[in-house]
Structure 1
């Protein structure tokens, strides 16, 4: 089960995601880049553990390892929370200027996320451009928006956070043109 939470910076995505996760799973793994303000909400219970992997570790490898070690019979009781996909992708994007390598790494990450067996909640940012973006910003924004669209297509639930208010986009009957 894939759930996505998206919105702008400071919109309340993490707080909402942790509360939502606690409502649907007894235990969880919170994967964080650690680039948040120090006021990250406490995890909902002792059955949740945080892994502050930082931007240096490849999210693809972390997700694949968790998936490999998971007990399929218990996978439905646990949720993995990725916070935030945008930070991990930005770190990977900065690691190399080779566009083909970036594209390949993005596809590997997307494959790992979509093949995860169990509950997965991905926190990501809505991408907004600037009036005069650099070429690098334009490429990253387009790639991140493309990943967000792919996640949306596969997500069972999708929430948009605006000023702390969560909007359930899937229940609103929103449709992507790619789905028609």
Structure 2
């Protein structure tokens, strides 16, 4: 089951995600880049372990390794929390200057996240443009927005945080005028 939590910087995404994870699963893994706080936030229970991997390892490799080492029969009882997808994507984007390599790495990341066996909660940022973005910023924002759209279309639940308030977007059942 895929759950996404999105919002702007400082909106309370991590705090909400950890509290929500505690309601959904009594055990899990919290993957952190460590870029949001100097310490790992309080985890839902002693049955959660924190892995602060920084921006070094590729997220796809870490998720695939956790998936391989986990007991498939206990998949519904555990939660993997990824905090934050945006940080990993930005680090990967900075490392690879070749756009084709970036596309391949992005697809590998999406494949790993979407094939995860068990509950996965992905924390990401909403992409907002600046008045005069550089070409690199424009490409990154477009790629990150595309990844967010793919994740949202596969997510069972999707929350957006605004100033600490969580809005359940999937529950709103929004409809476009051209839909019948």
Settle same-fold status: TM greater than 0.5: yes
What CA distance in whole angstroms lies between the structure 2 residues aligned with 1:176 and 1:130? 27
What CA distance in whole angstroms lies between the structure 2 residues aligned with 1:140 and 1:72? 35
Matched, 1:41 2:50: no
Does structure 2 conserve the Cα–Cα contact (< 8 Å) formed by 1:27 and 1:47?
Answer: yes
Quote the offset at 1:124 in angstroms: 0.1
Q: Secondary structure at the match of 2:170?
A: coil
> Which residue in the other structure is 1:120 paired with?
120
Matched, 1:134 2:134: yes
Normalised by the size of structure 2, how large is the TM-score? 0.96
Q: Secondary structure at the match of 2:38?
A: coil
Backbone CA RMSD of aligned residues: 1.6
Equivalent pairs counted in the alignment come to 179
**Cα separation, partners in 2 of 1:150 and 1:119, compared to 1, 3 Å:** same
> Which residue in the other structure is 2:145 paired with?
145
> Which residue in the other structure is 1:86 paired with?
86
**Cα separation, partners in 2 of 1:88 and 1:176, compared to 1, 3 Å:** farther
Quote the offset at 1:3 in angstroms: 0.1
CA deviation vs aligned residue, 1:72-93 (integer Å, no higher than 9, x gap):
1111110000000000000000
| Deviation beyond 4 Å, 4+ runs, structure 1 | none
Quote the offset at 1:40 in angstroms: 4.7
Point out where structure 1 has 5 or more consecutive residues left out of the alignment.
Answer: none
Point out where structure 2 has 5 or more consecutive residues left out of the alignment.
Answer: none
Q: Secondary structure at the match of 1:125?
A: coil
Does structure 2 conserve the Cα–Cα contact (< 8 Å) formed by 1:15 and 1:40?
Answer: no
Matched, 1:31 2:45: no
